[in-house]
Amino acid sequence: MPATRSGEWLDPASGLGLGLDDIPPGTFNMTISTDRYTCPQYAAREREAIWMRSWQIVGRVDELPKPGDWKTYRIFDQSFIVVRGKDGALRGFVNACRHRGNALCTAETGNAKRGFLCQYHLWSYDLEGKLKGLLRESLAGPIDKTQNSLLAVSVDTFAGFIFLNPNPEATPLREYLGDDVIELIEPYNIDQFTTVMDVTETIECNWKVVMDAFEEGYHINGIHPQLLQVLHINPLTARYRFFENHCVAVAPFEVAGAAVQDQIEGMLSLPETFPGTAAVIPRFQELLAPYQAADGKVTFPDGVTARILLQQATRDVLTGMGLDVSALTDDQMVDNQGWVLFPNYFMTVRAGECHVIMSAPHLDGDPNRCIWHVASYMYLPEEFRDAVRAEAIVVDTPGSYKYFEALQQDYEQMPRQQKGLRNTRLSHMSLVKEEVVIAHFHSVVDRHMAQATDAPQVASEVTA
């Protein structure tokens, strides 16, 4: 039976989520070849099989609010323009004049209220890509304007993000995502979130090393030991849903410490590690007060836990700000759901905030380098959004930008893995059971690499 709210799939009674023990051995290949991270020939095949055929995020809808607003997007040596038309629609085009191929837009973003003008020979196009005029048109000869519009690419939006597919005959975005994915993500209202962090830079590793790193929590003990002081990591309580191209995983948010007092102290210290929780702590303390003795000791009756109070505090604070979280379950108030949208989008999301990691091949095609893009978004009342909105940062000097502690640790770790993967005698990686999301991701990579066709992809659920 379908869940009535997007978080109810976590309830074992729904029959929708899988635990590790529900995934039979052999469901996914746990042995991953290493040539896919280092081989130039493999990267060249990826370009055509994946990147020229897949939906990829190029920005947020609110980056292009006015008619004529445009931005460029590049993947490898391919350049595209996304522009908002006078009718309010977003459209995408190859960034090349139909006359002699001159790039129309050389900046990252701008406004072309009157359309696009090629600076080389002054051919002009309207915001729908139609050729409007050309220099000395009466002497130009038999130029059919209707056959010389800008070359279109597929553009659509979901959850406030702009998606582009270089293939003009691409399967529609919503079909590619699938009804289940859309129904599970839409209730968070991410389309109303505000960008509070947006950083892009080159990193010395393959784009799939980045994706792998954020698809598992197995590395927390080794790379993020400080998180163990706050969080209790239990892979046996994680739940998964696998779709044809995408997946979602959730490890319930549990604060370290079995004793009630330890859990409460851990929750009160959450803002030190998770700044987004700072606004919730005062309400959490109010809810805690009736169960707290004069000496500070807390005693809960049956049916009350620190986790339940934190859930209620989160809902109260968000609702009190006029934000709609009514379609989310109590678990979604505190549990981060980790989404992988193929090919290169990883998002953790809970009520009120989400964090996104994206990676793409380096523009020069070197498989040992990639471009990673990290961003954070928050659900805020409209009157506060402009005050916290972050401008995009492009880091030119590697290592010069300092991320928050856990992300900085990942940033430093990923190039170390790439160095190891370049050893030619290392033919494969051997995944452990709790890295099943990585295994699913690479099964999707393998399928796209094997098919490399324009056949429609219909999202269906993998059940076990």
- pLDDT one-digit tens code per residue, 62-79: 999 999 999 999 999 999
Mean pLDDT computed over 310-325: 96
Q: How far, in Å, CA of 316 to CA of 115, rounded?
A: 47
Residue 211 has pLDDT above 80, yes or no: yes
| Cα angle, residue 410 at apex, residues 405 and 414 outer, rounded to 5° | 155
Give the model's confidence band at 4: pLDDT under 50 very low, under 70 low, under 90 confident, else very high. Answer: low
Residue 450 has pLDDT above 80, yes or no: yes
For 322-345, the pLDDT digits (tens) are 999 999 999 999 999 999 999 999
Mean pLDDT computed over 315-323: 97
Give the model's confidence band at 463: pLDDT under 50 very low, under 70 low, under 90 confident, else very high. Answer: very low
Percentage with pLDDT > 90 across the chain: 80
Residue 192 has pLDDT above 60, yes or no: yes
HEC readout, the chain: CCCCCCCHHHCHHHCCCECHHHCCCCCCCCEEECHHHHCHHHHHHHHHHHHCCCCEEEEEHHHCCCCCEEEEEEECCEEEEEEECCCCCEEEEECCCCCCCCCCCCCCEEECCCCEECCCCCCEECCCCCEEECCCHHHCCCCCHHHCCCCEEEEEEECCEEEEECCCCCCCHHHHHCHHHHHHHHHHCHHHCEEEEEEEEEECCCHHHHHHHCCCCCCHHHHCHHHHHCECCCHHHCEEEEECCCEEEECCCCECCCCHHHHHHHHHCHHHHCHHHCCCHHHHHHHHHHHECCCCCECCCCCCCHHHHHHHHHHHHHHHCCCCCCCCCCHHHHCCEEEEECCCEEEEEECCEEEEEEEEECCCCCCCCEEEEEEEEECCCHHHHHHHCCCCEEECCCCCCCCCHHHHHHHHHHHHHHHHHCCCCCCEEECCHHHHHHHHHHHHHHHHHHHCCCCCCCCCEECC
Closest CA to 252 of 10, 17, 440, 438: 10
> Is 102 buried (19+), middle (13-18) or exposed (0-12) by CB count in 10 A?
middle
pLDDT at site 456: 42
CATH code for 1-53+191-259+335-463?
A: 3.90.380.10
- Pick 463 or 216 by higher pLDDT: 216
Token pair belonging to 216: 């598992």
pLDDT at site 5: 72
Q: How far, in Å, CA of 269 to CA of 253, rounded?
A: 14
pLDDT at site 459: 41
Q: What is the torsional sign of CA 85, 87, 88, 93?
A: negative
For 230-277, the pLDDT digits (tens) are 778 888 899 999 999 999 999 888 887 778 888 888 888 888 778 888
Q: What are phi and psi of 136, to 5 degrees?
A: 45, 55
Name the CA radius of gyration of the chain, rounded: 24
Lowest mean pLDDT among 206-215, 261-270, 403-412: 261-270
CATH architecture of the domain formed by 56-169? 3-layer Sandwich (2.102)
Contact partners, residue 300, CB within 8 Å, separation at least 6:
260, 291, 306
Count of CB atoms situated within 10 Å of the CB of 33: 14
Lowest mean pLDDT among 54-58, 255-259, 388-392: 255-259
Give the model's confidence band at 86: pLDDT under 50 very low, under 70 low, under 90 confident, else very high. Answer: very high
Residue 2 has pLDDT above 50, yes or no: no
Count of CB atoms situated within 10 Å of the CB of 111: 13
Residue 120 has pLDDT above 60, yes or no: yes
- What is the pTM for the complete model shown? 0.92
Where are the domains positioned within the chain? 1-53+191-259+335-463, 56-169, 260-333
Any idea of the CA torsion for 184, 186, 189, 192, to the nearest 10 degrees? 140
Q: What are phi and psi of 343, to 5 degrees?
A: -95, -25
Residue entry with tokens 């590793």: 205
Token pair belonging to 367: 């498989």
Q: How far, in Å, CA of 458 to CA of 436, rounded?
A: 22
Report yes or no: 446 and 43 within 8 Å, Cβ to Cβ. no
Percentage with pLDDT > 70 across the chain: 97
What residues does 247 pair with on adjacent strands? 242, 340
Closest CA to 81 of 114, 148, 131, 127: 127
pLDDT at site 460: 40
pLDDT at site 301: 93
For 131-180, the pLDDT digits (tens) are 999 988 888 888 899 999 999 999 999 999 999 999 999 999 999 999 99
Closest CA to 154 of 82, 84, 69, 48: 82
CATH topology match: 1-53+191-259+335-463 vs 56-169? no
Token pair belonging to 326: 């009514």
Give the model's confidence band at 30: pLDDT under 50 very low, under 70 low, under 90 confident, else very high. Answer: very high
pLDDT at site 464: 37
What residues does 428 pair with on adjacent strands? 33
pLDDT at site 1: 38
Average pLDDT, the chain: 92
